């Protein structure tokens, strides 16, 4: 048992200081120092409000606001000594403020608590991250739109079950990801709008008897309004969970795309060539060029899912209002945010740099009987055959081609007519992959004309 003097911020009723293990489990300064700028912004807004409401003198508030800037610059330049005994960023800043400005520092904590303070700081931090993620998503989407524009009419196989299904366009495939990341962007923006209520002034849990002005601090910190219930304000971490859950869905999209890049860049596919800047070599096999960035994106996503589950688990059993469990919120969010930003940036870099191998895509597009559906549709359209029957006839033709070891367009008209006598030479037109994709002009379809419309729409939206 280490005997130490009691805590200078809350030690009034304590005779002895904490055990070293107690200090270790209790302290959050090792990670919550990342919220220093937010903590100081919150305290400066609070000090200004205390003076405006006549709770502290103008000169004390001025001293606090100035002193807080000094503390901030010390932290930013690395001249600040963080203390584990002072537990967290809130008490580290306040204790240093006392050293810098003396007695007036003791009035800063009037009408607030660390409970509303930490909720405010963390919200400000998450809000900045939501904005950063929104920017990174838009940069990635712009890179995808450029790829789509360049290859709006390049053909490639579309897959279901990772088996060749029907030809699609490269542009269409790129734009599918733009839709996915566009929904992520929407979720991030929704979360930001919903979270933008200020907890500051909820105090420990019940509000305060001081005549504080919560509208003023809320406005000062860029919030839309103060949060309406003090118990909820200090115990709500929905904003962190919404960040993690929207980050998880976005991460899942990144992982799916990373998986496609791994497959597409393999020697078996050769659909894309990744740039040297976003690949690595092997120390033993000289020929290798590995898609490590894509693999790491695919893998890092696990941390983001994990953070979401971890914080949901922390929160699920907590009675109102604040419990110390909630201190476990920050590391999860910090780690998820760092890795999401890294994954978004790496994906943007890979997409910008990669080149699609048009010839390989086209060769693959025509193999695997990819225009069988076009053939069946021709039988329906021209011979007025019921689709089920057309499906059957086409199946026989596929079996015949497979038996001969050729693709559908390589069958002769006589071969075709031996399966169904009314088939005419016109049928060969729909068996070409370019005609196939060009014909799929339904809204949202893969035809180049539709892809170019979507490219134009997103270019406009993304500015
Ligand atoms: N470091 C704490 C956290 O992150 C700050 C709030 C502490 N409040 C308290 N009543 N002990 O949650």
Q: Ligand 1 mean position to 87 CA, how many Å? A: 9
**Helix axis angle, 238-264 to 114-150, nearest 10°:** 30
In the residue annotation, 161 being an active-site residue is answered as yes
Pocket around ligand 1: residues whose beta carbon is below 6 Å from it? Answer: 28, 32, 88, 114-115, 118, 322, 324, 326-327
C-alpha dihedral (79, 83, 89, 93), degrees to nearest 10: -60
What mean pLDDT is predicted for residues 95-100? 98
Pocket test for ligand 1, best of 38, 327, 329 (most atoms within 8 A of CB): 327
Q: Report the percentage of the chain scoring pLDDT > 70.
A: 99
Q: H helices of 283-386, where? A: 292-316, 329-353, 358-366, 372-383
- Letter string b/e over residues 359-371, b meaning 16 or more CB atoms within 10 A of that residue's CB: ebbbebbbebbbb
Helices (H) and strands (E) in the chain, counts: 19, 6
Q: Give the SS3 label for residue 159.
A: strand
HSE of 86, CA atoms in CB hemisphere, 13 A: 16
Q: Using omega within 30 degrees of 0 as the cis cutoff, is the peptide bond preceding 321 cis?
A: yes
In the residue annotation, 172 being an active-site residue is answered as no
What mean pLDDT is predicted for residues 315-326? 97
Q: According to the model, what pLDDT value does residue 298 have?
A: 97
Atom of ligand 1 nearest to the CA of 204: 10
Q: Ligand 1 mean position to 331 CA, how many Å? A: 14
Rg (CA), the chain: 31
Has residue 57 got a pLDDT over 60? yes
The helix (run of H) or strand (run of E) holding residue 246 is helix 238-264
Has residue 321 got a pLDDT over 60? yes
* Nearest CA owner, ligand 1 atom 11: 324
Tokens of 222: 């860029």
Q: Measured between alpha carbons, how far is 204 from 117 in angstroms, rounded to an integer?
A: 9
Confidence grade of residue 276 (pLDDT, cut at 50, 70, 90): confident
Closest C-alpha among 107, 118, 132, 100 to residue 42: 118
* Nearest CA owner, ligand 1 atom 1: 88
Q: According to the model, what pLDDT value does residue 341 have?
A: 98
Tokens of 455: 């490219």
Q: Measured between alpha carbons, how far is 25 from 108 in angstroms, rounded to an integer?
A: 27
Residue found under tokens 């009037």? 110
C-alpha dihedral (402, 403, 405, 406), degrees to nearest 10: -60
Terminal Cα-to-Cα distance of the chain (whole angstroms):
62
Pocket test for ligand 1, best of 93, 114, 332 (most atoms within 8 A of CB): 114
Q: According to the model, what pLDDT value does residue 4 have?
A: 60
Q: Measured between alpha carbons, how far is 266 from 161 in angstroms, rounded to an integer?
A: 18
Q: According to the model, what pLDDT value does residue 251 have?
A: 98
Closest C-alpha among 164, 203, 127 to residue 365: 164
* Nearest CA owner, ligand 1 atom 3: 327
What mean pLDDT is predicted for residues 339-364? 97
Q: Measured between alpha carbons, how far is 169 from 177 in angstroms, rounded to an integer?
A: 13
* Nearest CA owner, ligand 1 atom 2: 327
As a whole number, the mean pLDDT across the chain is: 95
Q: Give the SS3 label for residue 398.
A: helix
Query: Do 376 and 390 meet the contact criterion of CB atoms below 8 Å apart?
Result: yes
Confidence grade of residue 368 (pLDDT, cut at 50, 70, 90): confident
pLDDT digits (tens, 9 = 90+) for 119-177: 999 999 999 999 999 999 999 999 999 999 999 999 999 999 999 999 999 999 999 99
Q: According to the model, what pLDDT value does residue 3 have?
A: 46
- For residue 111, the 8-state DSSP code is T
Pocket test for ligand 1, best of 84, 115, 311 (most atoms within 8 A of CB): 115
Task: Give the number of other Cβ atoms within 10 Å of residue 295's Cβ.
Answer: 15
Q: Ligand 1 mean position to 361 CA, how many Å? A: 56
Higher-scoring residue by pLDDT: 289, 67: 67
Q: Measured between alpha carbons, how far is 71 from 93 in angstroms, rounded to an integer?
A: 7
Has residue 1 got a pLDDT over 70? no
User: Which of 57, 266, 282, 396 is the catalytic position?
Assistant: 282
Q: Measured between alpha carbons, how far is 421 from 171 in angstroms, rounded to an integer?
A: 38
Q: Write the burial class of residue 110 (CB in 10 Å: 0-12 exposed, 13-18 middle, 19+ buried).
A: middle
Q: How many residues does the chain have?
A: 463
Atom of ligand 1 nearest to the CA of 324: 12
Has residue 334 got a pLDDT over 60? yes
Has residue 2 got a pLDDT over 50? no
Find how far residue 167's CA is from the centre of its chain.
30
* Nearest CA owner, ligand 1 atom 7: 114
Look at strands 197-198 and 225-226 and give their pairing.
parallel
């Amino acid at each position: 048992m280490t005997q130490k003097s009691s805590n200078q911020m809350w030690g009034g009723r304590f005779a002895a200081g904490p055990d070293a293990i107690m200090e270790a489990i209790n302290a959050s300064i090792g990670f919550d120092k990342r919220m220093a700028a937010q903590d100081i912004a919150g305290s400066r807004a609070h000090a200004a409000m205390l003076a405006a409401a006549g709770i502290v003198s103008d000169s004390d508030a001025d001293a606090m606001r100035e002193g807080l800037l000094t503390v901030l610059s010390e932290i930013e330049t690395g001249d600040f000594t963080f203390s584990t005994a002072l537990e967290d960023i809130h008490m580290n800043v306040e204790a240093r403020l006392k050293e810098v400005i003396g007695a007036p520092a003791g009035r800063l904590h009037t009408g607030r608590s660390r409970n509303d303070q930490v909720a405010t700081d963390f919200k400000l931090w998450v809000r900045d991250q939501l904005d950063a993620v929104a920017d990174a998503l838009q940069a990635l989407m712009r890179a995808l739109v450029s790829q789509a524009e360049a290859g709006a009419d390049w053909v490639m196989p579309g897959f279901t079950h990772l088996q060749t299904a029907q030809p699609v366009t490269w542009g269409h495939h790129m734009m599918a990801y733009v839709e996915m990341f566009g929904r992520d962007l929407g979720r991030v923006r929704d979360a930001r709008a919903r979270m933008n209520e200020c907890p500051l002034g909820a105090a420990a849990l019940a509000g305060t008897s001081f005549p504080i002005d919560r509208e003023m601090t809320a406005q000062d910190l860029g919030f839309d309004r103060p949060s309406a219930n003090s118990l909820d304000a200090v115990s709500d971490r929905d904003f962190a969970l919404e960040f993690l859950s929207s980050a998880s869905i976005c991460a899942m999209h990144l992982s799916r795309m990373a998986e496609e890049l791994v497959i597409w860049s393999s020697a078996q596919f050769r659909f894309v060539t990744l740039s040297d800047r976003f690949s690595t070599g092997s120390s033993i096999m000289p020929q290798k060029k590995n898609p490590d960035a894509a693999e790491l994106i695919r893998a890092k996503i696990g941390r983001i899912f994990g953070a979401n589950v971890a914080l949901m688990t922390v929160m699920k059993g907590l009675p109102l209002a604040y419990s110390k469990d909630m201190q476990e919120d920050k590391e999860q969010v910090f780690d998820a945010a760092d890795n999401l930003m890294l994954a978004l940036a790496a994906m943007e870099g890979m997409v910008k740099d990669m080149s699609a191998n048009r010839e390989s895509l086209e060769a693959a597009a025509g193999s695997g009987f990819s225009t069988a559906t076009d053939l069946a549709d021709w039988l329906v359209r021209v011979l007025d055959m019921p689709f089920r029957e057309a499906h059957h006839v086409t199946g026989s033709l596929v079996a015949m081609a497979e038996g001969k070891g050729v693709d559908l367009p390589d069958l002769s008209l006589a071969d075709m007519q031996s399966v169904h006598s009314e088939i005419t030479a016109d049928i060969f037109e729909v068996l070409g992959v370019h005609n196939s994709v060009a014909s799929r002009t339904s809204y949202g379809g893969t035809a180049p004309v539709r892809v170019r419309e979507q490219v134009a729409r997103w270019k406009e939206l993304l500015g």
